[in-house]
Structure formats: structure tokens, C-alpha cells
Amino acid sequence: MKGTNAGVESKHGVDGTLRARLGVAATDNILIYGTAGGAAQRLKITDAAGSDTNTMLGWTAGAGVDAKLTDKVFGRVEYRYTKFGDEAFNTGSGAQEVSDSSNKVMFGLGMQF
């Protein structure tokens, strides 16, 4: 992901989470769950004076539904909010405080072995 605002460009690198998941079976075929944990990402900020890259640490929380489609295949829909926190970036034009967060809706398929 990347974006520009007032001549300052941000470019996201790798991000990841380490989460726990707790759910309840609504039926034999549907699992409703909540998830939460830690999050991290690499972010690069660039302006006319230069660029700076930092690792931002934060938290994530969300909820989702797993639905059994066949005996071995399930579908998933999950919403997750992630707050990566605030970090000072110095591109050469002085320190800039950057706050970053994201909202994601993810769809997936899984297989049981």
C-alpha cells in the first residue's frame, strides 16, 4: 500500500500479526470468533528532503466467521482493525510524527487435512 499527502509519500512494506482466536460454534457448520494480538509493519516516508524507514509496533483486533462448505473445505470472512501506533520519521526536513492504522475485510478458503 502507498499514498501521498501534501508532498509526503508513505509506502508500506511487510506487515504481520501474532494473534489469539476465541470462538463459539453457532451451529455444526458455523464458527463465530474474535481475534486480538500484536502487530508490526515497516513504513517508509519520503518527501523532497529525503526518506526514512521505521518499524511500527501496535495491536490488532477483529471478528470473523468460518463456515463449513464441504467435509474438507471451509470459507472465512474476517474484519480486522490494526493500530500501528505513532513513530517519529526524520527525512532530513525535521522530525515528522506519523500515526498509522488500517481496516481490513478479508475473505478466504481453507482445507482440512
CATH number, position 21: 2.40.160
Give Cα 111 distance to the centre of its chain.
23
Give the CA distances from residue 101 to residues 80, 84, 92, in Å, rounded to whole numbers and listed in that order.
11, 5, 24
pLDDT tens sequence across 21-77? 999 999 999 999 999 999 999 999 998 899 999 999 999 999 999 999 999 999 999
pLDDT tens sequence across 47-59? 889 999 999 999 9
Smallest CA-to-CA distance from 32 within 81, 77, 82, 70 is with 77
**CA distance linking residue 11 with residue 57, whole number of Å:** 16
For residue 56, the model assigns a pLDDT of 95
H/E segment holding residue 106: strand 95-111
**CA distance linking residue 21 with residue 6, whole number of Å:** 39
Structural domain that includes position 69: 2-111
Domain count, the chain: 1
pLDDT tens sequence across 82-105? 999 999 999 888 888 888 899 999
CA angle 41, 58, 15 (to 5 degrees): 20
For residue 13, the model assigns a pLDDT of 86
For residue 6, the model assigns a pLDDT of 82
